Structure 1
Amino acid sequence: MPLRTVHGSLAPLAAAVVLAVALGACSSSTSLINARTQGYEISDSAQAQIRNGQSQELVTLVLGSPQSTNTFGDQTAWYYVETKVRQTAFGLTMIDSRTVLAIYFDKNGKVVDKAVYSLKDGKTVTIETRRTPSFGEDRTFIDQILQSF
């Protein structure tokens, strides 16, 4: 059977198919950067519903349970954290924005204040990398096994 070649009328069709497949590979599902939200999605309408004097139960109905809580003296604070990040296909995560909604309650469980903090309000804390010296020998796991023989 003779081998057929692509004639002039089929060449544009083949080029269109190749172009469609190439452009289809550029969809968002295979993009190199994925934008997403970590934590809560805090909407402006939900923030507007929280007013002074409301109970903790009503705040839970509107926003859900808090991500973190803090009690200091007779005042309690609930924290809702929303972080918008971009993550590359290689695992590198870049923080675009962070919003912390803090709701403060009195000893009776009623809202007394609320505050919204952003990424610029945060402070970087450096982790101390020095090691406290200990007396005696620091042996590795292998040293301990070999010493037991």
Structure 2
Amino acid sequence: MKAGKAFGAGLVLTMALAAGGCSSIRESRGYIVDQSLVNAVQPGIDNRQSVEGTLGRPSFVSQYGTPTWYYISSTTGRKPFVSPRIESHSVLAVQFDASGNVVSAERSGVNKVAFLSPDGDQTPTLGRERGFFEDLFGNIGQVGAPGAGPGAGGPGR
């Protein structure tokens, strides 16, 4: 009877460990949001120095158009051996005027995320398509062609 109880206890322990391995793994990526600090940024009051002092350096800075700082935060969750999925996503876009004062601070979420779906395993390119043998033997006759020798007008000649 003792062997049966030990086997049952071992089986229960194994099942508990297996169930624990199926729990979701959460990861925070990017800027870690502190709502009280985000709410402290006020248009017309703050400037670039005060925003950087409050929120830190931005995740991205706009290169064109209105000067804008982006603070991007994502929380992903995944089960073991499965690709991660976005659970929450937020973007804080702080826009500045020409003198560096905050014009607006807009928040957006996962509703503005663009999901891209690649088309197969090839990238379409412009130009002509070459076959296997053309790739393999395409340079035959090119080496040693007239005008390609050392006497030809190359660099420095």
Matched, 1:12 2:37: no
> Which secondary structure does the structure 2 equivalent of 1:25 belong to?
helix
Please report the TM-score for the alignment, with normalisation by the length of structure 2: 0.66
Task: Name the CA shift for 1:11/1:124 in 2 (closer, same or farther; >3 Å).
Answer: closer
Give matches, 1:79-90, under 5 Å: 79-90=70-81
Give matches, 1:42-121, under 5 Å: 42-52=33-43, 53-70=45-62, 75-120=66-111
Q: Structure 2 regions of 5+ residues with no counterpart?
A: 141-157
Distance 2:47 2:70 in 1: 15
2:14 maps to 21
Tell me how large the CA RMSD over aligned residues is.
3.2
1:35 maps to 26
Task: Name the CA shift for 1:140/1:25 in 2 (closer, same or farther; >3 Å).
Answer: same
Task: Name the CA shift for 1:119/1:34 in 2 (closer, same or farther; >3 Å).
Answer: same
Please report the TM-score for the alignment, with normalisation by the length of structure 1: 0.69
> Which secondary structure does the structure 1 equivalent of 2:85 belong to?
strand
Q: Structure 1 regions of 5+ residues with no counterpart?
A: 1-7
The offset of 1:36, in angstroms, is: 2.1
Amino acid at match of 1:56: R
Distance 2:30 2:14 in 1: 37
The offset of 1:42, in angstroms, is: 1.4
Aligned length: 136
The offset of 1:104, in angstroms, is: 1.2
Task: Name the CA shift for 1:140/1:34 in 2 (closer, same or farther; >3 Å).
Answer: farther
Give matches, 1:130-141, under 5 Å: 134=127, 137-139=128-130
Comparing both structures, which one devotes a greater share of its residues to strand? 1
